[in-house]
Amino acid sequence: APSRSARPKICCPAITPEGTREEPTMQFLLEVVEILTSYIKKTFDKSTKVLDFHYPHQLLEGIEGFSLELPDQPESLEQILVDCRDTLKYGVRTGHPRFFNQLSTGIDIVGLAGEWLTSTANTNMFTYEIAPVFVLMEQLTLKKMREIVGWPNGEGDGIFSPGGAISNMYSVMIARYKYFPEIKTKGMAAAPRLVLFTSELSHYSIKKASAALGFGTDNLILLNTDERFNSCFILFLCSCLQGYVPVYVNATAGTTVFGAFDPINDIADICEKYNMWLHVDAAWGGGLLMSSKHRHKMSGIHRANSVTWNPHKMMGVPLQCSAILVRERGLLQGCNSMCAGYLFQPDKHYDVTYDTGDKAIQCGRHVDIFKFWLMWKAKGTVGFEQQIDKCLDLSAYLYSKIKNREGFQMVFNGEPQHTNVCFWYLPLSLRHLPDGEEKRERLHKVAPKIKAMMMESGTTMVGYQPQGDQVNFFRMVISNPAATRSDIDFLVEEIERLGQDL
């Protein structure tokens, strides 16, 4: 019948594992690599667009035959290759030097190679038994990170987790376990009302953790900061809290929007006075510890009890790569261990303290360490330092370029501490309006409009948001060492081109 003869010749079940030695299978994989390397080359070619935007309904309808539906019958290998091409075509090039939309950008070739190897090895971090090399790499890298934080001899503990939010959640769990270990078995009912502190500009994951872990978001006190952390207010609150026990303060090293650094030493003094856990959320700022020029911004970080540090942000490691570091050994294990017999047999023939899985809230845990380890080998500590200094230099260039430029207005005073540069762009029609509600309302709509046009033209991407009573402004961040001054110039001119006549 004609419909039968139209069926593809190479059908995927041909790639059974038994067939792996055969030519078509390896040929398929190499053709995928061809697609990927060609994608990478284009990503670094600035004449390529950052994205080719489509609305959800367009993609769902199936543009140019690209169907997202899952079939009952197998598709041909040729079709799978087409699907791979289409997936990349309609996606966003986060490695493009003009993609400034998130804290994680760029594409590091050695990191990428590391991730390809990781998925080929396809193993799990829970035991030394099935991940001997990766477990040791994790251990050595965590120790190095703790040394850089400044804990004596790099002593302490830690684990790589699936992102900064989970790392921050760990910090709250460990703090609770340190002061009220009985909560593990008896629940929150066994403890007095516990209070946590963070600044209102801190990452929302602290709030998520306080909800998830049973503290309740009402018991997380959000400190007003005026861009900087008001440590005096904690002092005041601690002294007048009645019937509540303050246990935890999160200091942010590099806030998400402003890139501000809380004064760690001031906060550490208060934590010592009131016997509270000091966590430093350096998910974004941690990379600056690699820079002798910038690490002073985190002065006092060695006094923290725990630190979140995401190499997948400022250090350019492919997603995901986030570490929670803990100064005191044993707490992670004590807090989370459940001693599952089928994984953590005590009678193994090697030292089972290398089986780190029971420290985690996860069971299976993705291998996030290898790409980071490999990049460190390839760049050396000095390479990371250069890369980070370069990004900060670029943001200083942006700041000096727009701080007095016609139509641009900075959101906060002074030089940015991190690569975050926050600004409003005022179209011509708004520049001579008197300050007031009308101007605010109109300005609030400018950034979303420019952003929408940017995405539709696909030339560049940058984030925006309101913050407190400040209407929508652009937040520029730079974490991709491939970006250059000409990309910064381009962004500024593109905003002017798109927004001038709004």
The single residue among 48, 49, 79, 200 that binds a copy of itself, judged by CB under 8 A, is 79
Instruction: Verify binding: residue 383, a copy of itself, rule CB under 8 A.
Output: yes
The single residue among 364, 429, 431, 486 that binds a copy of itself, judged by CB under 8 A, is 364
In angstroms, the CA 491 to CA 52 distance is 18
Residues in CB range of 486: below 8 A, 6 or more apart:
none
Instruction: Verify binding: residue 65, a copy of itself, rule CB under 8 A.
Output: no
Neighbours of 229 (CB within 10 A): 29
Nearer to a copy of itself, 264 or 483 (CB): 483
Site residues (CB under 8 A) for a copy of itself, limited to 97-116: 97, 101-102, 104, 106-110, 112-113, 115-116
- Exposure of 369 by Cβ count < 10 A (0-12 exposed, 13-18 middle, 19+ buried)? buried
The single residue among 386, 400, 429, 486 that binds a copy of itself, judged by CB under 8 A, is 386
Q: Where are the alpha helices (DSSP H) in 403-482?
A: 428-431, 437-444, 446-457
Give the closest residue to 321 by CA, choosing from 206, 101, 479, 210: 479
The single residue among 395, 421, 451, 479 that binds a copy of itself, judged by CB under 8 A, is 451
Instruction: Verify binding: residue 448, a copy of itself, rule CB under 8 A.
Output: yes
Cα 95 versus chain centre, distance: 15
The single residue among 3, 5, 47, 71 that binds a copy of itself, judged by CB under 8 A, is 71
Instruction: Verify binding: residue 56, a copy of itself, rule CB under 8 A.
Output: yes
Neighbours of 102 (CB within 10 A): 15
Instruction: Verify binding: residue 472, a copy of itself, rule CB under 8 A.
Output: yes
Instruction: Verify binding: residue 342, a copy of itself, rule CB under 8 A.
Output: yes
Site residues (CB under 8 A) for a copy of itself, limited to 295-314: 312
In angstroms, the CA 401 to CA 418 distance is 16
Residues in CB range of 429: below 8 A, 6 or more apart:
442, 501, 502
Site residues (CB under 8 A) for a copy of itself, limited to 393-422: none
Least Å from the CB of residue 154 to a copy of itself: 11
Q: Where are the alpha helices (DSSP H) in 279-368?
A: 331-336
Separation in Å, CA 171 to CA 60, 107, 372, 486: 40, 29, 22, 41
The single residue among 442, 465, 496, 502 that binds a copy of itself, judged by CB under 8 A, is 465
Least Å from the CB of residue 147 to a copy of itself: 10
Instruction: Verify binding: residue 502, a copy of itself, rule CB under 8 A.
Output: no
Least Å from the CB of residue 15 to a copy of itself: 5
In angstroms, the CA 387 to CA 45 distance is 20
Site residues (CB under 8 A) for a copy of itself, limited to 151-170: 162-166, 169
Site residues (CB under 8 A) for a copy of itself, limited to 14-33: 15-18, 20-21, 25-26, 28-30, 32-33
Nearer to a copy of itself, 195 or 270 (CB): 195
Site residues (CB under 8 A) for a copy of itself, limited to 132-151: 132-134, 136-137, 140-141, 144
Strands (E), 142-243: 157-161, 193-199, 220-223
Least Å from the CB of residue 272 to a copy of itself: 26
| Amino acid letter for position 232 | C
Nearer to a copy of itself, 205 or 395 (CB): 205
The helix, strand and coil proportions of the chain, stated in percent and rounded to the nearest 5, come to: 50, 15, 40
In angstroms, the CA 355 to CA 359 distance is 9
Instruction: Verify binding: residue 438, a copy of itself, rule CB under 8 A.
Output: no
Least Å from the CB of residue 490 to a copy of itself: 16
DSSP class of residue 362 equals -
Instruction: Verify binding: residue 8, a copy of itself, rule CB under 8 A.
Output: no
| Amino acid letter for position 404 | N
Binding mask 202-241 for a copy of itself (x = CB under 8 A): -xxx-xx-xxxxxxxxxx----------------------
Least Å from the CB of residue 406 to a copy of itself: 26
Instruction: Verify binding: residue 254, a copy of itself, rule CB under 8 A.
Output: no
Strand 421-425 to strand 408-410: parallel, antiparallel, or no bridges (unpaired)? Answer: antiparallel
